[in-house]
Amino acid sequence: MEKTTWKVLAIIFITLFILETAFVIWGMMLVSNEEAKTEECYYEVCRDYPDAWLEGNICSCFEYDILGNLVVSKTELIK
């Protein structure tokens, strides 16, 4: 029985290592997609406005009114 326990432990650790690697790669892909959306919002959609905000998939562009307050001037859905 003692001879097979190390084999079982090795299989468990290899499986956990593969799952951990898959989750890390998945997380990096999610972060990369969010950064791409943020860059698209700031540098493509709202390039003519002084401020922008990305919430989910909705990009809102702001500009200053006469009193110096930020007001929403453009809203666009980013895919």
Beta bridge partners of 62: 51, 72
pTM here is 0.67
Q: What are the residue ranges spanned by the domains of the chain?
A: 2-77
Kindly report, residue by residue over 9-63, the tens digit of the pLDDT: 999 999 999 999 999 999 999 999 999 999 999 999 999 999 999 998 999 999 9
For the chain, the maximum distance between any two Cα atoms, rounded to a whole number of angstroms, is: 81
pLDDT tens, 61-72? 999 999 999 999
List beta partners, residue 75.
Answer: 60
